[in-house]
């Protein structure tokens, strides 16, 4: 399940062939790859497990994920404390079967903006628990201003510990 999990010294994956890491029976997971700094080489990969990039604490950008598909989003980037740029998420596909994005960016304390999440459809999401918890540098929420949390039944601690937020958009 954790095809590259806990590879503490893995810094990049650009030399891996997409053919090696794609397929319905393989779950691409880079959980706890704490030295990973680049995702270039993962273009057009399908991710079939949650926590795929959890605790990749040296990752600063999601460039390289363009064209990727995510079946799950829970804990996807939690603990990526150096992550500053998530704009590449505007070029990925999230499965319509996703029902929660709990802890998706929890602990991403270098993240200042949510640019890249404008197109994330949350119409089937029923849980938004601690999605941005402890994103202590987060100031710009404008990218999610049009989110419609109509189906959400649990929105606990969504921005808990986000001490730099100075304005808030009411989710519709």
Runs of H (alpha helix) within the chain: 18-21
Q: Is 126 exposed, middle or buried (0-12, 13-18, 19+ CB in 10 A)?
A: middle
pLDDT in tens, 27-71: 668 889 999 999 988 888 888 888 999 999 999 999 999 999 999
pLDDT attached to residue 17: 39
How many whole angstroms separate alpha carbon 132 and alpha carbon 159?
Answer: 5
pLDDT value at 154 more than 80: yes
pLDDT attached to residue 49: 82
Strands (E), 3-100: 46-47, 69-70, 93-94
pLDDT value at 89 more than 50: yes
Strands (E), 16-109: 46-47, 69-70, 93-94
pLDDT attached to residue 30: 86
pLDDT value at 97 more than 60: yes
């Amino acid at each position: 399940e954790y095809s590259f999990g806990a590879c503490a010294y893995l810094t990049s994956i650009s030399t891996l062939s997409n053919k090696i890491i794609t397929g319905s029976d393989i779950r691409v997971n880079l959980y706890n790859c704490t030295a990973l700094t680049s995702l270039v080489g993962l273009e057009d990969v399908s991710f079939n497990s949650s926590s795929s990039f959890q605790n990749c604490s040296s990752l600063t950008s999601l460039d390289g994920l363009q064209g990727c598909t995510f079946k799950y989003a829970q804990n996807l980037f939690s603990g990526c404390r150096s992550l500053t740029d998530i704009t590449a998420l505007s070029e990925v596909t999230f499965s319509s079967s996703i029902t929660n994005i709990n802890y998706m960016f929890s602990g991403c304390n270098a993240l200042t903006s949510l640019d890249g999440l404008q197109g994330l459809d949350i119409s089937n999401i029923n849980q938004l628990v601690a999605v941005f918890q402890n994103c202590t540098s987060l100031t710009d929420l404008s990218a999610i201003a049009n989110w419609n949390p109509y189906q959400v039944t649990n929105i606990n601690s969504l921005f808990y510990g986000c001490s730099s937020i100075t304005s808030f958009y009411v989710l519709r």
